[in-house]
Amino acid sequence: MREFFSNVSAIRYEGPRSKNSLSFKYYDPEERIGDKKMKDHLRFAVAFWHTFGFRGADLFGSENMIRPWDNFTDPMERAKAKVDAAFEFFEKLGVRYFCFHDRDIAPEGETLGETNRNLDEITRYIKRLMNGSDVKCLWGTANLFKDPIYTHGAATSCNVDVFARAAAQVKKAMEVTLELGGQNFVFWGGREGYETLLNTDMRFELDNYARFLHMAVEYAREIGFTGQLLIEPKPKEPMKHQYDFDVATTLAFLKNYDLDRYFKLNIEANHATLGGHTFQHELRYARINDKLGSIDINQGDPLLGWDVDRFPTDVYSTTLAMYEVLKNGGIEPGGFNFDAKVRRPSFEPVDLFYAHIAGMDACAMGLKIAHRLLEDKVLDNFIEERYASYRDGIGLKIASGEINFRDLERYAMEHEHIQNSSGRQEMLEAVLNEYMFEQQRS
């Protein structure tokens, strides 16, 4: 195998005192946290598209990143070089999973048939490399947003030929994901949404989207794909309004169309904040509905209102996220996919290592802090106390559904003197800080 990152050797855990930026300070894969090793809590995945496909272009500037694996004129050669670079990267970083879109891994041909044949050839190539390593596929997905045919959406397009093409593409992407042993398959509604209601039959588009997903469920069953199917909510971008707006909206959609038993959700941090929620809110909402399936771990920028996909370095946010994950009992077969890209000025290939290391360490720190918060039941005890009035007397009757308005009115008349207790938010925030910084010292 050719080497593309020859100036980087395998990244090791060296602990918080190490001065080596190409080492882990907190992520020690073998360290046991509660009932599992860190590497089994944090099933990290590298995203093919951002890590090996992003070249730094933005709305105002052209590509500024030179990637040695691009240095091949033949598109299939280039695709194979990219795969080589990817596997070298996975091995050196010690990440055991990857995620991909069909169009990230193989070039398109003149026809759909040729495109599929290209995909098959690269799939065989990837499989060969997987055989010699313990790298696995976390999930695959179909890119239903880049090609101009998807201008009006894919499954929600007004054009039936586009609907059919999208179906063919998902069909093939599922087959490839199965072939690669993918543990999940993701549907992010790339352009499933609208620009204006003046030209949109919303009801029909939603019905079609549901029909599309039912066919996908059916096909997965037919080919024996037993991985978890996931929907990835996002409120906007590229469309002004996306149908899978957030967790709550997506759950309502799934329930309306009798799809909820087949799907869980893939929650992305930056999509949560884009929708006006915290990352923790979206994780919590999914978790309490038993729908927390997997995570696209990244972070937004409080000053920028779009999906900036920064690598997650905000330990406050990773701590609260890991708190939800631990409460959920983990997210396997899901994982933590770095749907994140290096900033444009971080244009050297080695920055890809720094970025992932920063993200992995931030998640590891978050995991350790969240675990201790849970062990000490810091928040649990407070919350339990806060709702104590529902554990006996009339409270218990309410909680067990044994009371009506008439009884409640009688009770209210007998208890006119109402006393509330403080929510102690600032106190709890200070406690959270104590845990965060204690963690840093130990």
Interaction site with ligand XLS (CB under 6 A):
101, 141, 186, 188, 232, 234, 268, 296, 307, 339
Per-residue binding letters, 314-353, with Ni ion (x by CB under 5 A): -------------------------x--------------
Of 85 and 231, CB closest to ligand XLS: 231
Give phi and psi for 232, each to the nearest 5.
Answer: -110, 105
- The burial class, CB within 10 Å (0-12 / 13-18 / 19+), for 363 is buried
355 contacts 342 by C-beta, under 8 angstroms: yes
Residue from 302, 253, 304 nearest 279 by CA: 302
Range list of β-strands (E), 306-412: 336-338
Q: Which residues pair with 23 in a beta bridge?
A: 12
Q: Which is nearer to ligand XLS, 205 or 339 (CB)?
A: 339
**Between 92 and 343, whose beta carbon lies closer to ligand XLS?**
343
Annotated catalytic residue 101: yes
- CB under 5 to 8 A by kind: which of ligand XLS, Ni ion, none does 141 bind? ligand XLS
CA distance readout (Å), 427 to 152, 157, 278, 315: 50, 51, 20, 19
192 binds, among ligand XLS, Ni ion, none (CB under 5 to 8 A by kind): none
From ligand XLS, Ni ion, none, interface partner of 282 (C-beta below 5 to 8 A by class): none
Q: Please answer whether residues 249 and 265 qualify as being in contact, where contact means their C-beta atoms are separated by less than 8 angstroms.
A: no
Minimum Å gap between C-beta 274 and Ni ion is 8
For residues 170 to 189, the per-residue mask of contacts with Ni ion, x marking binding by CB under 5 A and - elsewhere, is --------------------
| Given 104, 175, 268, 361, the residue binding Ni ion (CB under 5 A) | 268
Provide the minimum distance between the beta carbon of 243 and ligand XLS in the complex, in angstroms, as a whole number.
14
Q: Which residue is nearest to ligand XLS (CB)?
A: 188
Asked if 28 interacts with Ni ion (CB under 5 A), we say: no
Beta carbon of residue 298, minimum distance to ligand XLS (angstroms, whole number): 8
Q: Token match 């096909």: residue?
A: 219
Which among 162-170, 299-307, 363-371, 373-381 is the span making contact with Ni ion, rule CB under 5 A? 299-307
Which of 101, 277, 356, 371 is catalytic? The answer is 101
What does the block give as tokens for 124? 């065989």
Query: Residue 232 corresponds to which amino acid?
Result: E
CB of 83 to ligand XLS, least distance (A): 19
How far apart are alpha carbons 69 and 67 in whole angstroms? 5
CB 196 within 8 A of CB 233: no
State which residue, 274 or 394, has the beta carbon closest to ligand XLS. 274
Instruction: Assess whether 28 carries a catalytic annotation.
Output: no
Q: What is the DSSP string of 176-224?
A: HHHHTT-SEEEEE-TT-EES-GGG--HHHHHHHHHHHHHHHHHHHHHHT
Nearer to Ni ion, 29 or 334 (CB): 334
Question: Residue 158 — φ and ψ, nearest 5°?
Answer: -75, -10
User: Between 234 and 371, whose beta carbon lies closer to ligand XLS?
Assistant: 234
Q: Number of helices (H) and strands (E), helices first, in the chain?
A: 16, 14
Cβ-contact 12, 354 below 8 angstroms = no
User: Which span sits near Ni ion by CB under 5 A: 115-123, 237-245, 249-257, 291-299?
Assistant: 291-299
Smallest distance from ligand XLS to CB 399, Å? 39
**Strand 241-242 versus strand 193-194 pairing type:** antiparallel
Note whether 314 and 269 are within 8 A (CB): no
Tell me which of 104, 296, 307, 309 is the catalytic residue. Answer: 104
Nearer to ligand XLS, 141 or 169 (CB): 141
The residues in 93-152 that bind Ni ion, with binding defined as CB under 5 A, are: none
Contacts of 200 (CB under 8 A, 6+ apart): 194
Interaction site with Ni ion (CB under 5 A) = 268, 296, 307, 339
Active site residues: 101, 104
